[in-house]
Amino acid sequence: MKFAILQCDDVLDNLQNEFVSYSFMIQRMFNAIDDTFEIDIFNCQLNEYPDDIDAHDFYITTGSRAGAYEDIDWIQQLIKFIQLLDQHQKKLIGICFGHQLIAMAKNKSVKPSPKGWGVGIAINRITATPDWMHETKSELNIIVSHKDQVSSLPDEAIVIAESDFCPYFVVQWNNNLLSIQGHPEWNTDYSKALMNERRAIIPADRIEAGINSLSLKPDNTLFTQWVLDFVKH
């Protein structure tokens, strides 16, 4: 199976020696289950895209510091590419920023949440089990780092996981679009390092609660299996 990573940001320069890149984290996420994937990386900030959308079995975005609603050329081009993938019923997995971009591509809204920053491991209720899903549980624990949230959905969308803090945490938009507000590709070391880097913009009590939450085990493998179930369905 061959997939493409749509890279939307870089790890902070001073963290790259230890944590490399977001594309590296996504490759590691899938390799933990199956190391036979062929993987291509396209830097969307440089407007890099495949010449043939049928050359990959599915696509997956990274997160980004940017806002999905920002009027920036590369973001607008990526929204158009997502719409193209959707028109051709190509499978796309949106992570965090990508989750929000799918909402924008569907003409739905993304806004800064009045609840503020979500950091650390978020505990979410699993509220739906589509027929493609082979394994599930009652809760999904995933690392998060976001202030913006999807605030509306189309009628056909299915909310798979939710919390009081983030009501649209995992969403199946249709038969080819699946997304998550969290970061199943991150590990707890990176989450802690990034929280410490962002102490100037995230309230101290929110960071301390986030760091304490990292004692939980994130369900990265479960969500990765969901992705594989979805793209093979």
Full DSSP string of 29-95:
HHHTT-TT-EEEEEEGGGT---S-GGGSSEEEE---SS-TT---HHHHHHHHHHHHHHHTT-EEEEE
Contact 58, 2 (CB under 8 A): no
Let me know if 183 is a catalytic residue: yes
Specify whether the CB–CB gap between 62 and 19 falls below 8 A. no
Look at the block and give the residue holding tokens 């396209």: 42
How confident is the model over 88-117, as pLDDT tens digits? 999 999 999 999 999 999 999 999 999 999
Residue 27: predicted pLDDT: 97
Say if CB 148 and CB 116 are below 8 A apart: no
Looking at domain 2-232, does it have CATH number 3.20.20.70? no
Write b or e for each residue in 197-227: b if 16 or more Cβ atoms lie within 10 A of its Cβ, otherwise e: ebeeebeeeebeebbebbebebbbebbbbbb
134 is catalytic: no
Among candidate residues 8, 96, 99, 162, the one labeled active-site is 96
pTM exceeds 0.95 for this model: yes
Q: How many helices (H) and strands (E) does the chain have?
A: 7, 11
The pLDDT assigned to 230 comes to 98
Which pLDDT value is given to residue 39?
A: 97
Note the pLDDT of residue 44.
Answer: 98
Q: Is 185 a catalytic residue?
A: yes
Q: How large is the angle between the packed helices 220-232 and 22-31, nearest 10 degrees?
A: 80
- The Cα 140–Cα 219 span in angstroms is 6
Residue 79's identity, in one-letter code, is I
Segments in the chain below pLDDT 70: none
Query: In the block, which residue shows the tokens 């082979």?
Result: 134
Nearest to 108 by CA among 86, 131, 133, 124: 86
Q: What is the pLDDT of residue 60?
A: 98
Q: Which amino acid is at 174?
A: N
Every domain of the chain and the residues it spans? 2-232
